[in-house]
Structure 1
Amino acid sequence: MNDGADLRELTALVAIVSHRSFRKAADGLGLSPSTLSHMMRALERDMGVRLLNRTTRSVAPTEAGERLVSRLEPLLRDIDAALAEVDNFRNLPAGTLRINTSEIAARLLLKSTLPVFLRRFPQVSLDLVTEGRLVDIVAEGFDAGIRLGEAMPQDMVAVRFGGETRFIAVASPAYLATRQVPRVPDDLKDHSCIRFRLPSGKPYRWEFEKHGQEISIDVPGMLTLDHMELMAEAAVDGLGIAYISDRSAQSCIERGTLVTVLDDWCPPIPGLFLYYPGHRLVPPALRAFIDVLKETG
């Protein structure tokens, strides 16, 4: 663009030529006629060419002004269309929504929230990434994350869903038939336990609580896994006691292939939260997802 012209002045020039009137153009632009007249004098001075012929009763473009306006009009329409398109992204859910989550949470969303959301907002592309490690959602380009409340970063806006959950100790009836059922967490030291490896590589210490008494145990066991569904399968196969989420064990418990032990040492915990940074403008797609999550979760 010529150094002597800015978009505001060029838009005003087009309006004046279109209306053939300073007053009507000023009304449309929300400016006073004197302000508009001053802008045109400044534009002509900076460009070094006369653009308008003025009389006390009329205004008309010079040849230079008419040629300039004829080139500007389609460009300004393109700019308006581009701004309107961006405005749609601000007001209507569209584009890509990236959410980092655990596999258990993703399975829960697939049964409830996601079918409703995708049907209701077809212009949104949902990128759901499941992984065990807890990531920095801002640094890695995610709009939101989903984790258990105890694992969620503290400096985030949080939306709870899915109700309470529990981590429970389970084993197959066949495994327990040949061993003494544990009554307190310390009894696990005499059992074969299916251990869980954290994303950091460290073994997870099983955590129990009863009447305010908290116990954390590094359980013994020959088998270590990093996936709760596999831990449930291993427990069903009689390989030992597993400590997993109630959602991972639910179907096996209903079929009778797993039973719970130490039930009174496994209290409920708050469960799952969707979280996102509070210092950012919430994208329309994320706002829409949260609304559906509250409705279905």
Structure 2
Amino acid sequence: MSVARSQLTDFTYFLAIARHRNFRLAGLEMGVSPSAISHALKGLEAKLGVRLVNRTNRSVTLTAAGEEFRDSIEVPLKDIDQAVERLNKHRDSPQGRIRINAQVDAAHTILPPVLALYAERYPEIKIEIEATDRLVDITHEGFDAGIRVSGTVPEDMVAQRISGDLRWIVAGAPAYFERFGIPQTPSDLKNHRCINGRLGDGRIYQWEFEGPEGEFSMSVPTQFVLNDRPTMLAMTLAGSGLMYCVEPVFSPYLKGGGIQIVLEEWAARGEGYQIYYSSRRQVPLGLRLLIDLIREVRPLGL
């Protein structure tokens, strides 16, 4: 049976389903709706005359035929993708689409000034960004790259540093300090209201400091736990409590006086952000251009 051009797209959708076992995630990777993914799969199964996927309200699994088909087409389609990607060097204007999974603070501080220039230079490359502190397997979930603090990058990835060291600070609004006073040492935080978040694995974050005897971390009295950085900042600006974060997140508010740093002499320093990607996949030109531009603009130093 000959393969129509439209079926190559259906094959790609099927491989996304096989990777994610989820129509929504497959659609996100491919840039289409879950219903479009489902429709394409039904059409492919009808053309092939074989059921490839078992789907219920709770699960999506491959049939034996689906597993065999996945194994047969995965490498050839990857070769085709790489061949098309290599054509970019012959175009006047690079084309393509890349997906980036970025830690929330990195997405807010590194990417905005870079992407404005990227859009001007490479208008035909589309970028999708998912900002989350959740630990994500970027290969399994179909991302071309991730951006995280150095210590949280998986060891089996190729990583490039894209920022200088980061300083972790405690800050609050002047209105808060007028009511509750200014902590002089980290131990004073037990008498303060703290706004906290969770790590990517779900644990409540412990605040880290550096004192005369070295680095240490401590639990703080947490009245508010949020997983949304803009809301945390809004609450801090409103005087609801103290917030702990990397300094660049606070920078715009420090200049205007809306937030001020405390316990500055106790601030801990850590390694900066890295962009990372799988060593088993060809790096898309769009991603290489993004990395080069970040290193050119240096929004957080380098």
The bucket for the TM-score relative to the shorter chain is 0.5 to 0.7
Q: Distance in 2 between matches of 1:86 and 1:273?
A: 24
From the CA coordinates, give the structure whose radius of gyration is larger. Answer: 1
Matched, 1:95 2:82: no
Q: CA 1:183–1:94 in structure 2 vs 1: closer, same or farther (change >3 Å)?
A: same
Measured after TM superposition, the shift of residue 204 of structure 1 is 0.9
Matched, 1:278 2:279: yes
Aligned to 1:264: 265
Q: CA 1:159–1:91 in structure 2 vs 1: closer, same or farther (change >3 Å)?
A: farther
Q: CA 1:296–1:213 in structure 2 vs 1: closer, same or farther (change >3 Å)?
A: same
Q: Deviations over 1:157-176 (max 9, x none)?
A: 22222323222101222222
Q: Distance in 2 between matches of 1:239 and 1:85?
A: 53
Alignment of 1:1-297 (within 5 A): 87-89=86-88, 93-211=94-212, 213-297=214-298
RMSD of aligned residue pairs (Cα, Å): 2.5
Measured after TM superposition, the shift of residue 206 of structure 1 is 0.9
The question of whether the paired residues in 2 share the 8 Å contact of 1:228 and 1:244 is answered with no
Ranges in structure 1 where 5+ consecutive residues have no aligned partner: 2-82
| Identity between Structure 1 and Structure 2 (%) | 36
Q: Distance in 1 between matches of 2:166 and 2:83?
A: 45
- Count of aligned positions: 216
The question of whether the paired residues in 1 share the 8 Å contact of 2:103 and 2:133 is answered with yes
Measured after TM superposition, the shift of residue 125 of structure 1 is 1.7
Counterpart secondary structure, 1:243: strand
Ranges in structure 2 where 5+ consecutive residues have no aligned partner: 2-81
Q: CA 1:91–1:103 in structure 2 vs 1: closer, same or farther (change >3 Å)?
A: farther
Counterpart secondary structure, 2:292: helix
Counterpart secondary structure, 2:244: strand
What is the letter of the counterpart of residue 88 of structure 1?
L
What is the letter of the counterpart of residue 139 of structure 1?
H
Q: Deviations over 1:217-246 (max 9, x none)?
A: 111132211223322221222222111221
The question of whether the paired residues in 1 share the 8 Å contact of 2:98 and 2:286 is answered with yes
Measured after TM superposition, the shift of residue 135 of structure 1 is 0.5
The question of whether the paired residues in 2 share the 8 Å contact of 1:168 and 1:245 is answered with yes
Measured after TM superposition, the shift of residue 84 of structure 1 is 8.5
